[in-house]
Amino acid sequence: MIGIAPLAPRAYLTPMATSISEIALTPAAAARVATIAERQNKPAILRLSVEGGGCSGFQYKFGLADAPADDDAVTRTDGVTLVVDSISLDLVRGAQVDYVESLGGAAFQVKNPNAASGCGCGTSFSV
């Protein structure tokens, strides 16, 4: 008889869990997500996805998520979780999500090594 070890709990375990080297959330971005999530009484889970559109062909979309989906890539920084769906991950692999405050305003920014070009607004890119 072959013994089978029990599986680890599935909380946040996904088939495509990424390492921080594939996509990163800066401490500044993590702090901002935590603040927003607390104000909205939601889990500190930021979803980054890529959609068609914008000035350059693709655009980033940010939103709070209740939980990671089964096919999400997951990374954590300072208690905050960043999730990216498997299709979007191919377009943002190696990227860093930051939160930047300047005189012009404050926003999440994606520093994406896969982007061949971007637009002035910083939310649209092409590959």
20: number of Cβ within 10 Å = 12
Give pLDDT < 70 ranges for the chain. 1-21, 54-56, 116-127
Q: What is the pLDDT of residue 97?
A: 93
Global pTM value = 0.75
Q: Which amino acid is at 18?
A: T
Q: What is the pLDDT of residue 121?
A: 54
Domains and CATH numbers, the chain: 24-111 (2.60.300.12)
Q: What is the pLDDT of residue 46?
A: 96
What b/e string do you get for 28-54 counting C-beta neighbours within 10 Å, with b at 16 or more? bbbebbbeebeeeeeebbbbbbbeeeb
